[in-house]
């Protein structure tokens, strides 16, 4: 991420139908192309309005991501909302079918964490979060990170060093959000 490039890039990713409904309630001009049963949306549209926390994971169903990363954000969702976060998003380089099942398993109501499928890693590349994990048989993936985004501007990026998990956790990002928003 370059210091002078603080806006969310215009890259496509997949989301669920209920996400499109939420986005259109804030911005009726959101363009969503049906790719039944999911929708392709422009990431700039997703984050154009409101305050968002986006956390990225290398792989759905991986041990750290499933045991700590995603469950922490599900658990702390009410705390984020209490300090002004409109939505928490989980993005991974996985197909939308995998993302839907993985997030639903952790958040059955779908009220705490929304998901983004960056199936081709284009969004991860555009945000300079892509990492080659071919040596592990995973191809291109997103680095473990968390971003605070307000009205389309990236205010903060917590980019984890390889094989670490701390500054992208829900506990740490809650402190970041409080520092920026209160």
Domain around 74 = 49-181
The pLDDT tens digits for 12-39 are 999 999 899 988 988 888 889 998 889 9
Q: Which of 16, 30, 65, 106 is catalytic?
A: 65
Does a structural domain hold residue 122?
yes
Are 56 and 129 in contact, with CB atoms under 8 Å apart?
yes
The pLDDT tens digits for 102-136 are 999 999 988 999 999 998 889 998 888 887 766 66
Strands (DSSP E) found in 60-119: 87-92, 114-117
Is 60 exceeded by the pLDDT of residue 5?
no
3-state class of 39 per DSSP?
Answer: strand
Q: What is the CATH number of the domain that holds 64?
A: 3.40.30.10
Does a structural domain hold residue 175?
yes
Are 124 and 140 in contact, with CB atoms under 8 Å apart?
yes
Phi, psi of 119 (to 5 degrees): -60, -30
* 65 tagged catalytic: yes
* Mean pLDDT calculated for residue range 144-167: 91
Q: How many distinct structural domains can be found in the chain?
A: 1
Does a structural domain hold residue 92?
yes
Q: How confident is the model at residue 153 (pLDDT cuts 50, 70, 90)?
A: very high
Does a structural domain hold residue 123?
yes
The pLDDT tens digits for 57-95 are 988 888 777 778 899 999 999 999 999 999 999 999 999
Is 80 exceeded by the pLDDT of residue 140?
no
Does a structural domain hold residue 28?
no
Does a structural domain hold residue 98?
yes
Give me the pLDDT at residue 6, please: 65
d(C-alpha 180, C-alpha 182), whole Å: 6
Q: Which residues, other chains included, contact 100 with Cβ-Cβ below 8 Å and sequence gap of 6+?
A: 16, 38, 115
Does a structural domain hold residue 26?
no
pTM: 0.91
d(C-alpha 87, C-alpha 47), whole Å: 10
d(C-alpha 5, C-alpha 38), whole Å: 29
Q: What percent of the chain has pLDDT over 90?
A: 57
* Mean pLDDT calculated for residue range 40-61: 92
């Amino acid at each position: 991420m370059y210091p002078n490039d603080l806006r969310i890039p215009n890259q496509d990713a997949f989301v669920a139908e209920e996400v499109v409904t939420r986005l259109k309630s804030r911005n009726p001009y959101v363009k969503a192309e049906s790719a039944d049963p999911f929708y392709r949306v422009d990431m700039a549209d997703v984050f154009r309005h409101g305050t968002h926390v986006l956390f990225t994971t290398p792989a759905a169903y991986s041990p750290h991501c499933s045991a700590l990363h995603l469950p922490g954000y599900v658990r702390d969702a009410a705390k984020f909302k209490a300090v002004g976060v409109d939505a928490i998003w989980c993005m991974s380089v996985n197909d939308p079918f995998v993302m839907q099942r993985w997030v639903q398993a952790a958040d059955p109501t779908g009220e705490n964490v929304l998901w983004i499928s960056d199936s081709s890693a284009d969004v991860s590349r555009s945000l300079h979060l892509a990492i080659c994990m071919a040596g592990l048989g995973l191809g291109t993936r997103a680095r473990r990170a968390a971003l605070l985004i307000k009205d389309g501007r990236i205010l903060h990026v917590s980019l984890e060093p390889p094989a670490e998990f701390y500054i992208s956790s829900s506990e740490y990002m809650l402190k970041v959000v409080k520092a920026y928003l209160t």
